[in-house]
Structure 1
Amino acid sequence: MSYRERAIAVPGAVLWERFVGPAPARTRILPDGCLDLLWDGRRLFVAGPDSAARWHGSPAGARYVGLRFSGGLGPALLGVPADEVRDQSPDLDALWPAGAVRGLTERVAEDPVGALRAWAVESLESRRGRMPETRSTRR
């Protein structure tokens, strides 16, 4: 298994990739107060802040690409309050309108690293100078 992070042109965000080797893997995830937007090769989902350590199982050969947002940036860019996704990993289509998810999913499927990096920069630019809009996930 390999993992790498790199800074992007969005303060408070890190782009990361994790590759699982030829055998399934279990990874311990420690609470860090961050939100992540993740691509697992077939879907986009949000990992809310965890309140306790947990284990995550990954199949052999899996690749994950994600954006980790700290310091309140995740709720601002993703448009969802952090407490509403705490200890959860909802699919992005449960949080955003279908058209927006479809468009981003298509871009990410073609180039996960480039598309997520570009989305973060575009989202930050579009939100400068205005309060973030949030949508409740509670029904």
Structure 2
Amino acid sequence: MYAERPFPGLACAWRRTTTTTAAGLVVPDGCTDIIYSAGTGEVFVAGPDTVGHVTRTGPGTLFGVRFGPGVGPAAFGVPGVELRDQRVPLSQLWGSSARLDDALGEAEDPCDVLASAALARLRETPPDPLVDVIASSPGNVGDLAWSLGLSARQLHRRSLAAFGYGPKVLHRVLRFDRAVGLAWQGVPFADIAHRTGYADQAHLSREVRDLAGVPLGQLIRS
């Protein structure tokens, strides 16, 4: 069972409970998560992915908070590219913290503890102020760089640091994420292709296979 809820200042908070050992496919969405395993006490960071990852979990509950695209790396104090396709113990980024571990173990909802710690870090080190502009401008990279008063190389470096991707890969991942979201809502695939800017349904299908590793129909059934 998976459920998520809005959380001010973050993309969402979520929890996943399984009663048996299970495998699931995690696909790229441009986001970064902090995840706490209630069963093992582990706390780790899931960086921005470039391809789908099969994850296996034992029985128990995972609690997580998700940063929007381009936000998480600022809280962790490392460039996003260093977290790309990685799963890293939080202690490697923030150092060991008995206080955080104790608070998670005692909390009624560990998501509140994770979120409080994440937001405190973001107040200390806010994300790049260009994050929203870069994420919402999927046109020509050269034109975007010019509009921001940057060279294409400078824009690429800032995008790698904030998102873990260069601008072209970022926009590809975000378009894919929008398409998957519409598919979950039951929108016909041809309409999804049109609404998200793919050339046609065949183009959408190729992108989904490249980024998720499975067809779109199989992805939303998994």
Question: Above 0.5 in TM-score?
Answer: yes
Distance 2:80 2:105 in 1: 26
Distance 1:82 1:130 in 2: 12
Q: Say if 1:29 and 1:53, in contact at 8 Å, map to a contact too.
A: yes
Partner of 2:7: 8
Distance 2:90 2:100 in 1: 10
Say which of 88, 105, 109 aligns to 1:109.
105
Q: Say if 1:26 and 1:56, in contact at 8 Å, map to a contact too.
A: yes
| Structure 1 SS opposite 2:115 | helix
Q: Say if 2:48 and 2:80, in contact at 8 Å, map to a contact too.
A: yes
Higher relative contact order (CA 8 A, sep 6+): 1
| Structure 2 SS opposite 1:90 | strand
Hey, which of these two has a bigger chunk of helix by percent? 2
| Structure 2 SS opposite 1:95 | helix
Partner of 2:42: 43
Aligned length: 126
What TM-score do the two structures reach when normalised by structure 1?
Answer: 0.79
- Cα RMSD after superposing both structures: 2.3
Change in 2 beyond 3 A, CA 1:18/1:84: same
Say which of 72, 80, 87 aligns to 2:85.
87
Structure with higher Rg: it is 2
Partner of 1:70: 68
Q: Percent identity?
A: 33
Distance 1:31 1:93 in 2: 24
Q: Say if 1:9 and 1:121, in contact at 8 Å, map to a contact too.
A: no
Change in 2 beyond 3 A, CA 1:17/1:93: same
| Structure 1 SS opposite 2:72 | helix
| Structure 1 SS opposite 2:3 | strand
Distance 1:105 1:79 in 2: 20
Is there any run of 5+ residues in structure 2 with no aligned partner, and where? Answer: 130-160, 162-222
Q: Deviations over 1:71-94 (max 9, x none)?
A: 211011222221101111111111
Shift of 1:32: 1.0
| Amino acid in structure 1 at the alignment position of 2:112 | G
> 1:53 and 2:49 equivalent?
no
Q: Say if 2:74 and 2:127, in contact at 8 Å, map to a contact too.
A: no
Distance 1:54 1:128 in 2: 29
Is there any run of 5+ residues in structure 1 with no aligned partner, and where? Answer: 135-139
Distance 2:44 2:23 in 1: 19
Partner of 2:26: 29
Q: Say if 1:47 and 1:90, in contact at 8 Å, map to a contact too.
A: yes
Q: Say if 1:77 and 1:124, in contact at 8 Å, map to a contact too.
A: yes
